[in-house]
Copies of this chain bind each other. A is one copy, B any other.
């Protein structure tokens, strides 16, 4: 079962049957939009209640997601006002160890996908499309 919110683009979509908690899915989906610049500094996010209604989750779930994003420095939360996307600037460069972890986790993730029957050609397609977007 899937839910989407934001009738204006960009939308996010979560899977209510996933083993990944809903708040985590909301955080992940919004982080993608921030990182890819599809939601920009100064933009307002829809209210917690609005998102909760659209996605069919409890508003505490959305609140938790927004708090997590505030903690990560992506948004400003103020009582009674809408959440506003911050200008987070560039993060400090990750230490070498973290890059190694990224490599290991990426490989594990792709291996799991292959083991679950996703065709290598399909995976290559996704990887290449990400490469295209990341190139300056």
A134 proximity list for chain B (CB < 8 A): 110, 120, 123-124, 127
Are B112 and A28 in contact, with the CB atoms below 8 A?
Answer: yes
Bound CA–CA A117/B89 (angstroms):
11
Given contacts A15-B101, A31-B111, A98-B116, 13 further A-B contacts (CB under 8 A): A18-B101, A28-B105, A28-B108, A29-B108, A34-B115, A35-B115, A36-B111, A94-B116, A102-B126, A110-B130, A110-B134, A124-B134, A127-B128
Nearest 3 A/B pairs, CB to CB: A28-B108, A91-B117, A94-B117
- The number of times this chain is found in the oligomer is 2
Q: State whether the Cβ of A6 lies closer than 8 Å to any Cβ in chain B.
A: no
Q: Looking at the complex, which one of B111, B118, B127 makes contact with A99 (CB distance below 8 Å)?
A: B118
- A contact residues, total (Cβ < 8 Å): 50
Which A residues from 1 to 38 make CB contacts under 8 A with B? Answer: 13, 15, 18, 28-29, 31-32, 34-36
Are A91 and B108 in contact, with the CB atoms below 8 A?
Answer: no
Are A113 and B118 in contact, with the CB atoms below 8 A?
Answer: no
Interface CB pairs A-B, < 8 A, 21: A15-B101, A28-B111, A29-B108, A31-B111, A35-B111, A35-B115, A90-B117, A93-B119, A94-B118, A99-B118, A102-B113, A102-B122, A106-B130, A107-B130, A110-B130, A120-B134, A124-B134, A124-B135, A127-B128, A127-B130, A127-B134
